[in-house]
Amino acid sequence: MGYQVNGVHWPQLHVHQQTAQLRCLMTALCDKHCPPSDWVFTADRVNRIMVEFALNFLPVQPHHVITPVDDEPLSGVKFAGRIVGVSIVRAGEAMETALRSCCRNVRLGKILVQRDERTAEPRYYMAKLPTDVATRHVLLMDPMLATGGSALMAMGKLLEAGVKESNIIFVNVVASPEGIRNLLSKHPAIQVCTASIAEGLNSQKYIRRSLGDFGDRYFGTLPADQENPKPS
């Protein structure tokens, strides 16, 4: 289990199998000429894939059921414990629909951390978490892991709320090697599930050759000079 990044093996890092479907979807997300409606549709598909992937790493316990065919019990499993989804606002909110489509009536929390564009450092603003979050397994959702600053700050707020580090799964779409190292070296007990590992960060601390600002593209708030780009 685990994954190797830049010569370092991280046992708690899980990268989705690079299927033909996922590669096609990720290529579309990285295309700056992808029409906005197509981009959102594709992002929703990738988010659903990643939420379902992350659910594989929740603990299960034995469970027996009676089938419609006979009275002999069938041995199976069920999830052990309750879950909560926590999105890092605002790109993480794009993953909430995917979680709700997989887990009915799931509770949701939010942590607002925004990047200072001048310093590339995160700023914490607020957290709204269920009162019993400490008793649950947490799916912490943020599509982009660049420096890891926002994820680390969100992790700190979850730990302050009493959540066990081992009960946290970080659900992600694109992760940089720098972000992976920063996050997992400080929180080795969490699990990280991602769709792809990027090449690294550029001088402005953005993920190179990737999909850009996930939140702006998903919610339609790109600057005017970036809207509906046309091939040159």
Q: Determine the topology of domain 3-58+81-221 in CATH.
A: Rossmann fold (3.40.50)
pLDDT digits (tens, 9 = 90+) for 115-146: 777 777 889 999 999 999 999 999 999 999 99
Q: How many angstroms separate the most distant Cα atoms in the chain?
A: 67
In the three-class reduction of DSSP (H, G, I as helix; E, B as strand; rest coil), residue 129 is classed as coil
pLDDT digits (tens, 9 = 90+) for 27-79: 999 999 999 999 999 999 999 999 999 999 999 999 999 999 999 999 999 99
216 is annotated as an active-site residue: yes
Contact 174, 195 (CB under 8 A): yes
Reading the block at residue 208, the tokens are: 């190179």
Q: What secondary structure letter does DSSP report for 201?
A: B
115 is annotated as an active-site residue: yes
pLDDT digits (tens, 9 = 90+) for 179-219: 999 999 999 999 999 999 999 999 999 999 999 999 999 99
In the three-class reduction of DSSP (H, G, I as helix; E, B as strand; rest coil), residue 114 is classed as strand
Instruction: Give the number of residues written for the chain.
Output: 232
- The reported pTM is 0.93
19 is annotated as an active-site residue: no
In the three-class reduction of DSSP (H, G, I as helix; E, B as strand; rest coil), residue 6 is classed as coil
The residue annotated as part of the active site, out of 119, 123, 132, 221, is 119
Helix axes 149-160, 177-186, angle to 10 degrees: 20
List the alpha helices (DSSP H) in the chain: 20-30, 36-55, 96-102, 149-160, 177-186, 214-219
The residue annotated as part of the active site, out of 45, 48, 107, 115, is 115
Q: What are phi and psi of 151, to 5 degrees?
A: -65, -40
